[in-house]
Amino acid sequence: MGQRDHTHEEAGYYLDQACMVTLSTAFGGICLALYFWKTDMLIRLLGRQFHVFVLISGGTLVGLAFLRALALWAQTRRKGHHHGDQAHHHHEKAVPCDSHGAGFHHDHGAKNHDHDWAPWRYVVLLLPVALFILGLPNKGPKSVAAAAEFIKSETQREATEALGLFSPSSLGWSQLTYVGFLCKDQVKGDVQDWDFRNLWPKVAADALSSDANDREQWKNKYIRVIGQYSPSLQSDRQFGLVRWKRTCCAGDAIPLNLPIISRESIRNIKRDAWVCVTGRVEFRRRFDELVPIIAVSSSHAVQSCPEDPNPHVEW
């Protein structure tokens, strides 16, 4: 009985080790696949400054798994040359099996280890492998759903106060200025493409600048920028152009909302859809501060576009 129990223990031990080698290889392979192949998924998960660590981790895991597999293979070959009790590498003490002294069994005492294979140990470990096989995550962050309360209570209120479209007593954009804007022609002249990563810190800094020339440089200049569509709760002529600022990973991302005002109603665009906006950067006073907005002359200046492969902004 002792021989059979010990053989069963060893079988469980080797099966457990083989599973760990397989999982380590899978984790390492996933890291390498994310870095070299599924880069869009890696971009959604981590900031670019951490991608090199994913590469190093993948190579290390695969290398360690390979070394461990070699060690197990060598260990099983050595055991194949021994017979009977010599096949065991544990320290054993032979004691009588029963009162009749009919045989012996192995008493491991404190050195006995449970090497039984327990499949439940791998359920949690298999979860990231399953997610990778399913291709998740396969979408960028939601412009509103992931921070609904922030958008509703702060961003939308901020946009309304900044634009001051519908209240004559508003401290934002006056009705006279708004009417003047509606009379302007469609986009004329060159349109400059801007990356949101560069546009947001630029206009935010210019809004805070004490030098008016920093804001004058935007006058009569048209730009084009993309982001996620976050409709206003107050009007179909205004919405937020949202991107997510990330420091480390998707979990610490915060929404950046650039208010947009349109001459015409914006319809048939779904929440969180990616849009390309063409318009002018303007600075409007809200209470005691200036806020940047983008003013567009028609609904045609807001067009659906493909999703940015990197939905986050980092600086």
For residue 175, give the CATH number of its domain: 2.40.50.140
Domain that holds residue 160: 145-313
* Structural domains in the chain (count): 2
Task: Indicate if 174 and 282 belong to the same structural domain.
Answer: yes
Q: Which of 109, 134, 159 is the last residue of a domain?
A: 134
- Cα 286 from Cα 179, distance rounded (Å): 19
Indicate if 165 and 41 belong to the same structural domain: no
Residue 140 domain-assigned? Answer: no
Q: How far is CA 293 from the centre of its chain?
A: 28
Quote the pTM value. 0.59
Q: Which residue has the higher pLDDT, 167 or 219?
A: 219
The token duo for 262 is 């349109």
Do 20 and 103 sit in the same domain of this protein? yes
Q: Is the pLDDT of residue 281 over 80?
A: yes
Residues 151 and 41 reside in one and the same domain: no
Q: Among 123-127, 228-232, 267-271, where is mean pLDDT lowest?
A: 123-127
pLDDT of 124? 78
Residue 299 lies in a domain: yes
Q: What's the rounded Cα separation, in Å, for the pair 257 and 159?
A: 9
Tell me: do 72 and 158 sit in the same domain: no
- Tell whether 113 and 169 lie within a shared domain: no
| 240 and 266 housed in the same domain | yes
For the ranges 80-89, 256-265, 282-291, 294-303, the lowest mean pLDDT is seen at 80-89
Q: Is residue 174 part of a domain?
A: yes
**206 and 281 co-located in one domain:** yes
- pLDDT for 109 beyond 50: no
The residue ranking higher by pLDDT, 135 or 219, is 219
Identify whether 89 is part of a domain. Answer: yes
Query: How would you classify the pairing of strands 302-304 and 222-231?
Result: unpaired
Residue 87: count of CB within 10 angstroms of its CB:
15
Q: What three-state secondary structure class fits 156?
A: helix
255/163 same-domain check = yes
Q: Span 143-152, mean pLDDT?
A: 41
Residues 128 and 205 in one domain: no
Nearest-angstrom CA–CA distance, 152 and 144: 8
pLDDT at 165: 38
Q: Are residues 61 and 29 in the same domain?
A: yes
**Residue 230: its pLDDT value, please?**
92
Q: How high is the mean pLDDT of the chain?
A: 76
Q: Cα angle at 207 between 202 and 213, to 5 degrees? A: 85
pLDDT over 90 percentage in the chain: 35
pLDDT tens digits, one per residue of 91-102:
444 445 444 444
Are residue 164 and residue 308 in the same domain, yes or no? yes
pLDDT digits (tens, 9 = 90+) for 198-241: 999 999 999 999 999 999 999 889 999 999 999 988 888 999 99
The secondary element (H helix, E strand) that includes residue 146 is: none
Asked whether residue 87 is assigned to any structural domain, the reply reads yes
